[in-house]
Structure 1
């Protein structure tokens, strides 16, 4: 049954592949924007959240998370990543804050730290810290009936002293699985250091599943994106078999993985600042939405007829308000998971720090709907 469903997906997406190849460059224009307030995280303060459509819910995965006490102040421990579900947003005629709920409760990280990463919370005895900070949502490779969902996440193994990185990270592969629509998905470490520290962390920056492939983007040292793809021919679209991978190098696909410092892997007009890539039927194009990084909430958009490009020069289409805390704004993220899939609109969030009534900084994420002309 799984192979039948997967084959149907590939056949249905074939016209999209032809349309994408023939698509002309697109210049998106904003029609209107609607504020939905800030994401509601009852009892929690959470950093940098991304989302995926998951069963009948939306799965959110966030970075550093703390509980709030009765005074609204954060208390230890800091959990390096957590997950929640939400429903879909209301219509723009009645915009309401979106509430994130956590059926698993507060405690261990959603993506567990590895044995050499000072688990459970990453705080090491020498004062350094390992952080399991996802830059994007998991790659969903299969959705079936009854809540069955299969996905993978590529996580950077970051070791920090303060906020300074003290290692060149490798990237581990995690496996997510749901067999019913109620509980949070189970998460397990599939392959530690799936990508070595000398390789690009494909899949850790952005991803899109289309036309029988999982297209996986990773950051280059000069702040652009490199691209690999994995054929969705394994069981439930498994991503743990490197024999299924190809890499976009010097304008062509090859079976040989390049080094992270290779000069011919960066895609022109791309940026590895936290962003999102998705397919838009409205424009017959792939879309990248991201920002220019701390301390701003400037949103940019770029389009391409194919996952590898050519990508248009990114154009700014929205600027969000910054917080009054020390971190201003960052983590500009788009959420195609919150839409109807037509491409007529998109939801965006960014992360801020704001001071509460006691002058203590907490995170929040404004949610805005952008409708296109």
Structure 2
């Protein structure tokens, strides 16, 4: 069973080029992107919720992949980082970090990178956003999202990460242990993606909300915020009552930022819209 794979986008958001194929006949199928490791107790039914490839070195075509290890019935294990390198034209996971394939235990640490991760175009940092620890069971409190950052050149060194402790305390090398509205960066989104808008000169978060079918945008002057409330730009129609989730932005299709193409998953289908902006 393949739980996650990789494809290359094209200039047409409705067309992708599937990569990392096997030798199946007559139609090859995609291989697993994040490899299972039986030494860590992983099987082919484990899920790896990857959200973002963040470039760490353009010369060597290397990136950091943030992902969440999901053992299904056994629950979430932890959030981790993998090194991805381009081998024979295909992004390939060459190393997973952590003693068990992840760094941040889901029980008592935010699931950094599970909501989104962003390579800031205006600085040397990667920002990774994650949901609350699973030990927080209150619905309202569990909907807060927390933030960590690291210089792109140091993304594979856990000791270099800095944790956002809120506006009053700022960035610290100490792992976050206080999970409140003050230490969170925002509330109430599922998986999404951040882009920088050259048109509006601000950061935009594309998300599908915390459940529901609305495509939403919120903005901030900096990756840590403060973030505005969401603005709904579109409502998707769930296919056969399925889930709509994982809003993804494609800013490379319009470098001016006057429009933004957004895609999302709708019950195992990918849907796409183009948003036009004005001042």
Q: Would the TM-score normalized by the shorter structure come out above 0.5?
A: yes
Matched, 1:249 2:169: no
The residue number in structure 1 matching 2:5 is 82
Residue ranges of structure 1 left out of the alignment (5+ in a row): 1-77, 91-96, 123-129, 354-362
Change (3 A) 1:168 1:350: closer
**Helix, strand or coil: the match of 2:103?**
strand
Structure-1-length-normalised TM-score: 0.63
What is the correspondence of 1:1-373 to structure 2 with a 5 Å cutoff?
78-89=1-12, 97-105=14-22, 106=29, 108-115=31-38, 116-119=40-43, 121-122=44-45, 130-134=46-50, 136-144=51-59, 148-161=60-73, 166-178=74-86, 182-191=89-98, 192-197=101-106, 198-210=108-120, 211-220=123-132, 221=136, 222-232=142-152, 237-251=153-167, 252-259=170-177, 261=179, 264-268=182-186, 270-294=187-211, 296-323=212-239, 325-327=240-242, 329-353=243-267, 363-373=268-278
Change (3 A) 1:315 1:278: same
Q: CA deviation at 1:179?
A: 5.6
Structure-2-length-normalised TM-score: 0.82
The 8 Å contact of residues 286 and 305 in structure 1, kept in 2 or not, is answered as yes
Further displaced range: 280-289 or 243-252: 243-252
Q: Which has the higher contact order (CA 8 A, sep 6+)?
A: 1
Residue ranges of structure 2 left out of the alignment (5+ in a row): 23-28, 137-141
**Aligned residue pairs, count:** 256
The separation in 2 between residues aligned to 1:86 and 1:289, in whole angstroms, is: 18
Q: CA deviation at 1:282?
A: 1.0
The separation in 2 between residues aligned to 1:346 and 1:261, in whole angstroms, is: 33
Report the aligned-residue RMSD: 2.3
Q: CA deviation at 1:260?
A: 6.8
Q: CA deviation at 1:114?
A: 2.7
